[in-house]
A and B are shown apart, each in its own frame.
Chain A
Amino acid sequence: MSLPVIKRPHYHHLIAWMADKPDHIVMTADLTGSCEADGFRDTYPDRYFSMGMAEQNMISAAGAMAREGFFPYIHTFAVFLTRRVYDQVAMSVAYPNVPVRLMGFLPGITTPGGVTHQAIDDIALMRALPNMTVLTCADATQVEAVMDATEAIEGPVYIRMLRGEVVRIFPEGTAFPLDALPILRKDKGAKILLLTEGICTEYGITATQSASLQDVPLIHANVAAIKPFPEHALHNLLDGITDIVVAENHSVIGGLGSLVCECIASHGLPIRVRRLGLQDVFAHGASRAYLAHELGFDADGIENALCETVSRTACGGLDMRREAVHSDAKAEGL
């Protein structure tokens, strides 16, 4: 079963969603089209602020504008919103607990732009900041729902955004799951739980539909709210579970896998956790499909991990949707 693919979902949604919110503003640092905010810029020039390629200043200035009653939505690449400006995010935004929305594009290996453009540690960094909410989008529906979800959050929010050609997994119009783990598959008697965030969710769906796993009872759930994490929803899934496989488009240090281990360990539960993701290595410039395969968290990698968990033997060889590097849904090849 192939899932529908939506072109530039944030581009269109941002314009529509911002129409009746005069105190909501957008700031960018020379990546306006690349973050699908060019439509906003052209539609609402009075609420759009080019801050130059100067992210430190942009973050601190946004913190002050939020103190003055505005809701700044900062659009840039996730690497430049986290690693490059960590102290500014901590002191000018997270400490005062002000409603700055950090829209982080190109999470993990979703870009062939190489190590400088790949945010492989952003969840870890943002999770560690007090007052920071951390959300991650798995599909076009979550991309379209996430800004609505931030409206009820008084403090800062970091969001892993998807852009370009984005798959739709959840029914259009579904609210962003701030306090739940959306279930993608749930079989009776399952001993294995697969948890996926972001693009790994699509990989997980492909993996669990494979011939080798069709008859194996499984639960597959998506994690979109990293912090606060809906721990109660995880506990509701754990009855009979002996193994959890986590797949994330992020380093296995400090991300979703770490988070799940913290939950399991802090409750003293006898459950093995296997973490798929970047195994404490940097990535490099190549396509998403190539990198996810090389790093072992594409559909093949997830299928292998699940098969090994069932029988301690590997399987694999699945067809995955491949996203074109050059596409009219993206401002550049990044």
Chain B
Amino acid sequence: MSDIEKSHAQNIRRRVLRHILTNGGGYMSQACSSAEILSALYGRILNLGPSEGAPVPPPFPGVPQKGKKTVTGSAYNGEKAPHRDRFIFSPVHYALVLYATLIEFGRMDPKGLELFNVDGSSVEMIGAEHSPGHEVTAGSLAQAISQAMGFALARKLKGDTGRVVVFMSDGEYEEGQTYEALGTAAFHKLGNLLVFVDANGFQCDGIMTGVGCVEPMKARIEAFGCTAEEVDGHDIDAICRAATHTDPDKPHVVICRTDPCHGLDKLRERWPRLHYLRFKTPEERDGYEKICQEWEKA
């Protein structure tokens, strides 16, 4: 077992819950479902150099425009070099979880999270390309996988050996653009594209089966010409084992089946409205406070 990554995953949940308690709301279920995936990625799967981002992100320098050089949050994922992987983060409402992950893996100072959703900061609630750990503006969902496909094609043309690794949510498999990207990536034989899906079965309106249809996800992805593997998304070793291309000419997708309340049973009280945690009563808040304090003692 990967005890180090497991403790990282628990720490990500703890940091997110503490943040939510301090700020009165946040994306908790996403931390519960994806903490092991992001720990596996940053701990073992991604080949990244040390962070080149400022430990505490400086104020947002402004939107891209003529004559203004802009930088993306990819600096927190290290140098861009031919042999390094590139990490593309797609469901950017998970930004809080990514920031907690960057802190957990020494890529951002904990003080950086104090800038979350603060006016004038780049540590935005819904991450954009200037936000730490982000490289593209992905909030209009399913555009990131297409952009990753473009990066993968560009890197293939340049002869880079590093991969383009995407983190997605399962809701994005309702968007037609996702399938355009998978089909086109397969057509161009982009074996340097690796995708992880946090398949937690939930989206903004609730349980995905009540909103739309994405299953059978593995068969769909394979039908579009990619390889796919399904794993327990809370089993870090299993995630890492699945993170290898089985065909060098095909994009590979790892479907991580996850539980949006993993590690935080109290969250099940809100079932099936899990998208955003905002405390309804002082008693509910106290309950979460108690759990967080226990986690912080551990």
Cα A57 to Cα B137 in complex, Å, equals 15
Taking CB atoms, residues of chain A closer than 8 Å to B18 are none
Interface string of B124-160 (1 = CB under 8 A from A): 0000010000001101101110111111011101100
A95–B137 touching, CB < 8 Å? yes
A96–B184 touching, CB < 8 Å? no
B65–A60 touching, CB < 8 Å? no
Nearest CB in chain B: distance from A95 CB, A:
5
Closest to A92 in B: B143
User: In this complex, which of A54, A64, A67, A155 has the most chain B Cβ atoms within 10 angstroms of its Cβ?
Assistant: A64
A97–B136 touching, CB < 8 Å? no
Size band of the interface chain A makes with B: 20 to 34
The answer to whether B1 has its CB under 8 Å from any CB of chain A is no
The answer to whether A149 has its CB under 8 Å from any CB of chain B is no
Taking CB atoms, residues of chain A closer than 8 Å to B154 are 64-65, 68-70
A95–B147 touching, CB < 8 Å? no
Taking CB atoms, residues of chain A closer than 8 Å to B181 are 57, 60-61
Cα A155 to Cα B69 in complex, Å, equals 12
User: In this complex, which of A61, A70, A130 has the most chain B Cβ atoms within 10 angstroms of its Cβ?
Assistant: A61
Taking CB atoms, residues of chain B closer than 8 Å to A67 are 150-151
A61–B65 touching, CB < 8 Å? no
Q: Decide yes or no: A52 and B150 within 8 Å by CB, A88-B143, A91-B143 being known contacts.
A: no
Size band of the interface chain B makes with A: 20 to 34
Taking CB atoms, residues of chain B closer than 8 Å to A295 are none
A60–B66 touching, CB < 8 Å? no
A64–B65 touching, CB < 8 Å? no
The answer to whether A301 has its CB under 8 Å from any CB of chain B is no
The answer to whether A87 has its CB under 8 Å from any CB of chain B is yes
Interface residues of B in 155-180 (CB under 8 A from A): 155, 157-158, 176-177, 180
A49, A61, A68, A96: the one contacting B146 at CB < 8 Å is: A61
B148–A64 touching, CB < 8 Å? yes
A60–B151 touching, CB < 8 Å? no
Interface residues of A in 32-54 (CB under 8 A from B): 49-52, 54
Taking CB atoms, residues of chain B closer than 8 Å to A56 are 142-143, 146, 176-177, 180
Interface string of B254-295 (1 = CB under 8 A from A): 000000000000000000000000000000000000000000
